[in-house]
């Protein structure tokens, strides 16, 4: 049979391709035997795996951010904000306003009787404390004396003719105690029979009480810190 030129050409092309593939295989096999080339390939594989892990972690981060954004826009954050506002009010760090009363206390305008003790005719820290305690017991939500916020840690003590409150604030009579709460309940707590006002009346101590539709109480002017008190761990509750 006579061989056509095209068949001969195809055979030659196939032979050449076979030789090229054989040479390339040998070169690749020999190259892989060198440690440096093998190390480069190993590092390239590690880089590839690290990139794949990075992409996976980034996808997780994106999902977590989406969930956080949903929570931040949801009811959970709203409840947390309300809790923070309540905590700031209770701690006295924010000014508040609302219906309440004003109690004005002043020294007696009576003349001291012969042989009488003049200290009975002036206001003392214990008188102020009695009024504050009655208002607290009656449900006062916030209080101030002469525009000084009264906290649970506020001290009230005499220093000569003045009263010291919140460590370094000196106030003098007349003392105006502002309290936010149920107006009738607050007034009744002070005017109850044999109560705090009755105990001041014999000495002529001046007391006036009035309802105020909007009492404004300023925030505590200083800072609050706890050097010894710490929250109890959850596992110990």
Write the pLDDT tens digit of every residue in 31-72: 555 555 566 667 777 788 888 888 887 888 888 888 777 766
The class (CATH top level) of 97-217 is alpha beta
Bridge partners of residue 142, in order along the sequence: 180
Helix 35-72 and helix 5-32: axis angle, to 10°? Answer: 80
What is the model's pLDDT at position 202?
86
Q: What is the distance between the alpha carbons of residues 180 and 96, in angstroms, rounded to a whole number?
A: 9
The pTM assigned to this predicted structure is 0.65
Helix/strand/coil for 37: helix
Give 191: exposed, middle or buried? Use CB within 10 Å, 0-12, 13-18, 19+: middle
What is the model's pLDDT at position 51?
83
Using left for φ > 0, alpha for ψ between -120 and 50, and beta otherwise, residue 122 falls in beta
Closest CA to 154 of 173, 229, 146: 146
Buried (b) or exposed (e) across 79-94, using 16+ Cβ within 10 A?
Answer: eeeeeeeeeebeebeb
Q: Which residue positions in the chain have pLDDT lower than 50?
A: 1-2
Give 216: exposed, middle or buried? Use CB within 10 Å, 0-12, 13-18, 19+: middle
The backbone torsions φ and ψ at residue 129, rounded to the nearest 5 degrees and listed phi first, read -65, -35
What is the model's pLDDT at position 191?
93
């Amino acid at each position: 049979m006579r061989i056509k030129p095209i068949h001969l050409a195809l055979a030659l092309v196939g032979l050449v391709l076979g030789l090229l593939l054989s040479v390339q295989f040998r070169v690749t096999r020999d190259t892989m035997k060198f440690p440096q080339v093998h190390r480069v390939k190993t590092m390239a594989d590690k880089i590839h795996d690290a990139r794949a892990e990075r992409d996976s972690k980034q996808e997780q981060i994106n999902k977590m951010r989406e969930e956080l954004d949903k929570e931040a826009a949801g009811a959970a954050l709203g409840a947390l904000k309300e809790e923070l506002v309540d905590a700031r009010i209770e701690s006295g760090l924010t000014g508040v306003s609302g219906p309440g009363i004003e109690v004005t206390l002043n020294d007696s305008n009576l003349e001291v009787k012969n042989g009488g003790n003049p200290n009975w005719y002036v206001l003392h820290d214990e008188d102020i404390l009695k009024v504050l305690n009655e208002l607290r017991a009656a449900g006062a939500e916030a209080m101030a004396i002469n525009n000084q916020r009264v906290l649970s840690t506020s001290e009230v003590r005499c220093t000569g003719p003045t009263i010291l409150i919140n460590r370094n604030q000196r106030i003098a009579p007349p003392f105006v105690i502002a309290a936010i709460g149920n107006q009738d309940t607050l007034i009744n707590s002070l005017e109850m029979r044999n109560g705090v006002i009755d105990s001041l009346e014999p000495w002529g101590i001046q007391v006036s009480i009035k309802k105020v539709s909007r009492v404004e109480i300023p925030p505590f002017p200083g800072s609050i810190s706890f050097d010894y008190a710490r929250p109890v761990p959850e596992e110990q509750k």
